Structure 1
Amino acid sequence: MAVLTGKVAVVTGGSSGIGLAIARSFRDEGAKVFITGRRKEALDAAVAELGENVTAVVADSAVPADLDALYETVREQAGHLDIVVANAGIGTQTQFGAVTEEQIDEQFAVNVKGTIFTVQKALPLLRSGASLVLIGSSAATSPSPGLEVYGATKAAIRNLARGWAHSSLQHGFRVNVLSPGAVPTPGLLDLVPAEVREQIKTTVPLGRLGTPEELAAAATFLASDASSYMNGAELVVDGGVTQI
């Protein structure tokens, strides 16, 4: 039997890249999935690809009112939640000394504030045993030049999971962090020239970049009962870059 049969999941930032791969994996494993994104056309394309059991809601995770609308849709259509994946995030690569206030505000608003309210506003809908998966990054421990601010936002995500784990018994959930390494997606890495990507591969002990599907498999594990005794932990999927 599919490992998420009967589960209801939210995946923010689910219209492309890792989020889309997670939504696809959850659907394949029997879950009813709600995905969010800021662009309606991208969400429409994702739903057309994923088909039944996937609902899209236009929402910016940095806007609490948008998250209210998301969870009202979940309440109306499903009545509860079993899985929340706080995946929506942005990163801006900027030379040291040239970071702007706008870049700082935007990255912290989406990556940190957005994650906080994605979880906080989900609490009334969570069923006992729910799994919260926060998408971190290997940049939290080993940020590349120009990604210091992005890395700081992801370090905050790691600490949020540690803190929220103390509330897991009271609220009946588990919370863990999934931290990808270098994975080609429509985000930061796709903006990197091909020769730089080849250079990145040489820093990975496995000798290659990861795939969204590999991250989706790890997210599915964290969402499922197979990880039922994991709480407050970080699962790093980066080919070994930050582990050795």
Structure 2
Amino acid sequence: MEAGELSTVVAVDGPSGSGKSSVSKEVARRLGLAYLDTGAMYRAATWWCLDQGVPLADARAVADAVRGLPLEMGVDPDDPTVRVGGTDVTADIRETRISAAVSAVATNLDARAELGRRQRAAIDAERTAGWSGGRGVVAEGRDITTVVAPDADVRVLLTASEEARLARRARELHGTADAAAVAATRDQVVRRDADDSTVVQFQVAADGVVTVDSSHLDLPGTVQAVLDVVQRALAARR
């Protein structure tokens, strides 16, 4: 499959620690597609609210702030930058204070609607031109397969056991998956998933969505499993 032949949207959803960001970036690289990290958009919105002194408990104020969010998303899978008001916040939005607060934005239905609108616009841009030159995009998040891009050419739910997800996130954040690191990571993974599950379903695949379980796969194996799904879906489309 030649990337240049594609005008394709690949939608990837999954819980925290399932590997969807690393896998989606590599799939985008291999196919020559843009990469859209929608989770980073929620983190950027959270950073903006905190920076502007918006009380996260004030749902209306948060929604208003998100509607005015001056966000620029870089969609190069080799350099997926995030800028807010001209400030590069790519690293800042990964700080613990953002991880601890992001559910307040992610569970705000009006904020979700606004960010979903922007996500659809970004996907449509890559279908026609954009960074990818019209080749397409790999978009990953929580509700891409069901809400943002239910008409995507390929829809994947990337999942893994809770044990595997906690270990991965612990290694990512703490460099080890020992008991202390896993315990320190649990809140970010389990609570965040529980919070987000109140407004969107990303634990069970919707009709037409292919589940890839990465519990016992390494990164290259998971990437290949997703690429296999893409190959089959595009072959059927042709």
TM bucket (normalised to shorter chain) is 0.3 to 0.5
Per the normalisation by structure 2, the TM-score is: 0.43
More contact order relative to length (CA 8 Å, sep ≥ 6) = 2
Normalized against structure 1, the TM-score is what? 0.42
